[in-house]
Structure 1
Amino acid sequence: MTVALVFLGFALFLVSGSPIVWAMAAGIILALSAGDLQMPAAWLAQQTLRGADSISLAAIPLFLLAGELMNRGGLTRHIMGIAESLFGRMRGGLGLVNVATAFVYGGITGSATADTGAIAKIMIPAMEARGYGRAFAAAVTAASGTLGIIVPPSVVLILYGVLTNTSIGGLFVAGVVPGVLLAASFMVTAYIVGVREKFPRLERPLQARQLRIDLVYALPALLMPVLVLASIVLGYATTTEAAALSVLYAWVAGALIYRELSWRDLVPAMIEAVVTTGAVMIIMAVATPFGWILTFEQVPHSVAEWIAAVQAGPSMTILMIILALAFVGLWMDLGPAIIILAPILVPIAKAAGFDPYQIGMIFTVTLGLGLFTPPVGTNIFVVCNVGQVGIGAVSRRLVPFWIATFIVIGLLAAFPGLSSWLPGIMGY
C-alpha cells in the first residue's frame, strides 16, 4: 500500500509536468499522509537534511566550478587544437576531434550537459563550415558529451558512490578503461560514417613543429584530470580535497598560463556552478526519504525474490537490469534514475555475483544512453538548440552511436575485468 502510494503520487505529479524532485516529494508526502508508515512529519525533514549531509557531495560544486573556470579560460579551444593535429587528416576527422575533445573535457567538468553545451558551441559551427552535415555534427556532439559521466572526475559517479556506499576513488579509477573503450567506439563509428559518406579531411600534411606547439599549449589542460585522479589514487587527497585542488589548478591555468581568465569571470563561474549544484543537491536530499521507504518496504528484496522465482541466472539477471535501465533512461534524467533504481537493482546485481565497480559502470553507461536518446535526452536538446537542427534529423544520425554504446555495455557485462582490473591494481 505504501509503495503504491509513493509511485502514484510520483507518477501523477510527473505527468502533470512538475519537476522530478517535486514529484518524488509528492509521493513521499502522500505515503506519509495516507499510508501505514506511522512516521511524524518531522521525519521527512530529518531524512531530507540527511540526504544532503555528506562530505563527498561537497566535491560536486568544486568540480563544477573547476570546469567553469577552465572553460572560460580557453581550455576547449586548446584541447581541440591538439585533437585536430592528431586526427584531422583522417576521413571524417573532425568527428574524431569532437570525440577526443569531449573525452578530455569530460575529465575536467564531470558533467555531461556542461560538456555538450561547451563543445557544441565550438564544434558544430566548425564542422559545418568544413562541409559536414549539421545533423551529423550535432549527433556526434550529443553522443560524445556522455563521456563526461564516466571519465573521472564524474559528478554522476560521485552520486552513485554516495548512494551505494561504493568508494568514489575506486569508481573514478574503474571509469578509466570503460571511458577509453566508449570513446574509441564513438571514434570508430565517426570514422566509418566519414568514410562511407566521404566527409572532408585536412589536406595539409602533419607538421611536427605545429604538433609540438599545440601539445605545449594543451598540456596544462590535459594534465588536470591526470593530476586529480593521481592525487586520489596515491592517497594524497580525498575526493573533496582533490576537487578543491582542481579549482586552484583551473584558476592558475586559466589566469596565469593561458591568460584568458580574468577576475570578472570568477563571479559568473561561481553562479553557474552553484545553480547546477543546487539542482543536484535538492534531488539528492529528497531521494534519501524516497529510497528509505523503498528499502523499509523491502522492494529490493521483493524484486530479488521475483528474479529468483523465475530462475534467472547471472546472465539473465544482468540482461534484465540492463533492459530496465535502458527503458527508464528513455523517460527519466540520469540523476533521478540512479537515485530511484540504485537501491533496488544494485543489491540484486551484487547477489548475482557481479563486482561493485562493474555494476557501477554498467549503471552509468546504460543510463547515459538516455542522455542522447529521445524523447527526453537532454544532450539532444542542447545540440539541437545550439545547431538549430531538428530532433528527428539528429536522432537518425545517432543510430550508429546507439549501436556502439550497446556493444560497449555488452562488453562491460561480459568481461568484469574491464571495470575491476584497474581498481584491483590500485588497491580498491
Structure 2
Amino acid sequence: MIWVALAFFGLLFLGMPVGFALGIAGLVGIFDMGGGRFLMMAPDRMFAGLDLFPFLAMPFFILAGEIMNRSGITTNLVLFASTLVGWMRGGMAHSNMLASVMFAGITGAATADAAAFGNTLVPAMVKQGYTKPFACAVTAAGSIIGPTIPPSTLMVIYGSLMGVSIAGLFAAGIVPGLLICAICMAVIAALGKRLNLPKAEGGPKLREILYAFRKSILALVLPVFILGSILGGIATPTEAASIAVAYALAIGGLVYRNLTFQDLYEMCVRTVRITGVIFLIIASASILGWWMTFNQIPQAVANGFLALSSDPNMIIAMIIALLLFIGLFMDINATLIILAPVLAPLTLKIGMDPVHAGIMIVLALNISLMTPPVGACLFVLASVTKEKIENITRSLWPFLLAEVAVLILVSYWEDMTLAVPRWLGF
C-alpha cells in the first residue's frame, strides 16, 4: 500500500496527468500482489471500468450543452434572468446566479457554465461597475449549480459505479441546487450596500419579462423535457441525453440558423476531448479500484472511521471534511472514482440512504471545483477573463462559506434532501 501511495502522489507532484498517475499506481499495486503475470489483468480492468451503458449519457449531455452555448441560447437565458431580477441592487450578479440555474438544466457541467458566463456576463458586469474579481467570484459560485441540478455527469458516474438510481440522484439534486442559488443571492444582497453594487432604476416590467420569456422559451423547455422524460420513466438518462442533442441541433440549425459545419466539427472535437479525459481517469482508476477492493481497503477505512467514533453525525462530518480537503488538490472525477467505493459502504453502515449519501458526496466534490489551488472553475475563469486566481479567491470566500453551509444542511437533513425523490417514488 505504501508503494502505491508513493507512486500516485509522487507522480502527481512531478506534474503527471491524474489519469496516468492513477493507472501507474494501480499497476504498481497489482504487480506487488502477483508479479508480472498479474499485469495482464490491467487491460481487462480498464475495459470493465468503462463497460457501463449509462456512461454514454456523458458525451451526449456535454455535446448538447456545447450546441446550446454556441447557438446563442445562453444569451437568451441571461436576458430572461435579467428581466426577472436585474432591477435589484446587484441585479447583474443576481441575474448571473439565476441564469446558472437555467443553464444547469442543459449542460450539467460547471466548467461549461464558467466558460459561457465568463465570456458574456463577466465583461457585462465589469462594464456596469462591478469589480472583475467579484464578477468572477459570482460566476464561480453559480457554476457549481450546473453539476448539482440535473443533468449531472458526476451523478451519472456515481450512480453507475455504485449501483444507485441515476434518476433518483437527479431528483435529489434539485433542492440542493436551488438552495445554493438562494443562499448565494442572499450573500449578494447582504454585500450590496457594503460594496455599493450597481442598482438599476425602476422595477420589473411585465412587457420586458414576456418578451424575454418568448425568446428563451425553447431553451427553457429542454431541461423540463430532459428531467420529465427521465423522472417519469419514459427514457433512460442516456436516451434523454441523445434526444437533447437532437433537440439542440434542431433549435440551433433550424430555428436560430447560426450553426455551421465548422461549428459542429469544433463542438464534436471539444466533446471528445472532455469525454476522453474523463474516461481515461475512469479506466485508470478501475485498475486501482480493483486493487483496493481485493485488499479490502474500503472495509479497513470504514472500520477506521468507526473506531474513531460510532456517532453517525460525527462520521458524516469526517466524510465532508475528507472530501473537501482532498478536493483541494485532486480532480473531482478521480476523487469520486477512488473514494466512492470506500465511503459508500461506510455511509450504509451508519444508516444513510444511498441516494442521500450520493448527493452529499457529489455536492462536496462540486464545491471543490471553486476552491484553490486546483479548482477547475477558477482556472477556466482566470483563462477566459485574464484575472488572477488569487484575486478571484479573495472575493469568493463569502460564497464558499455559504455553499459549505448548504452542504452541511443537505448532509444532515435527510427528509429535505430526499423530499423530491420520495415524492416521485425513488
Q: Write out the 4+ residue segments of structure 1 that deviate beyond 6 Å after TM superposition.
A: none
Q: Which moved more, 1:234-243 or 1:4-13?
A: 4-13
The residue identity in structure 2 corresponding to 1:190 is I
Deviation (angstroms), 1:141: 0.7
User: Does residue 153 of the first structure (1) align with residue 151 of the second (2)?
Assistant: yes
Q: Distance in 1 between matches of 2:212 and 2:189?
A: 23
- Structure 2 residue identity aligned to 1:147: I
Quick one: which of 376, 389, 393 aligns to 2:387?
389
What percentage of residue pairs aligned between the two structures are identical? 37
Q: Which amino acid aligns with 2:220?
A: L
Instruction: Extract unaligned runs of 5+ from structure 1.
Output: none
What residue in structure 2 maps to residue 172 of structure 1?
A: 170
**Which amino acid letter does the alignment assign opposite residue 41 of structure 2?**
W
C-alpha separation in 2, matches of 1:51 and 1:383 = 32
Secondary structure, aligned partner of 1:196: coil
RMSD of aligned Cα (Å): 1.4
Equivalent residue number for residue 60 of structure 1: 58
- Would you say 1:316 and 2:314 are equivalent positions? yes
Alignment of 1:149-228 (within 5 A): 149-228=147-226
Matched, 1:138 2:145: no
**SS of the residue aligned with 1:103?**
helix
Q: Which runs of 5+ in 2 are unaligned?
A: none
The code of the aligned residue for 1:225 comes to: P
How far apart are the structure 2 equivalents of 1:320 and 1:25? 28
Deviations 1:186-225 (A, max 9, x none): 1111221123212112214432111111001111111111
Structure 2 Cα separation of the partners of residues 363 and 142 of structure 1: 19
Amino acid at match of 1:332: M
Output aligned runs, 1:20-99, within 5 Å: 20-36=18-34, 40-99=38-97
Are the counterparts in 2 of residues 135 and 394 from structure 1 also a CA contact under 8 Å? yes
Report if the CA contact (8 A) 2:31-2:39 is conserved.
no
Query: Aligned partners of 1:250 and 1:194: how far apart in 2?
Result: 37
The answer as to whether partners of 1:32 and 1:39 remain within 8 angstroms in 2 is no
Letter of the 1:25 partner, please give it.
G
User: Could you say which residue in structure 1 is the equivalent of 2:406?
Assistant: 408
Distance 1:47 1:28, change over 3 A: same
1:245-284 equivalences in 2 (<5 Å): 245-284=243-282
1:318-333 matches, cutoff 5 A:
318-333=316-331
Any conservation in 2 of the 1:116–1:145 contact (CA below 8 Å)?
yes
Q: Cα offset for 1:370? A: 1.5
Q: How many residues align?
A: 426
Change (3 A) 1:277 1:283: same
Q: Which residue pairs with 1:306 in the alignment? A: 304
With 206-215 and 26-35 compared, the bigger mean Cα shift is at 26-35
Write the letter of the residue equivalent to 1:324.
L
Distance 2:188 2:331 in 1: 26
Match of 2:292 in 1: 294
Aligned 8 A contact 2:113 2:146 in 1: yes
Amino acid at match of 1:179: G
How far the C-alpha of 1:303 sits from its partner, in A, is 1.5
Structure 1: how far apart are the matches of 2:105 and 2:231?
15
Distance 1:413 1:94 in 2: 31
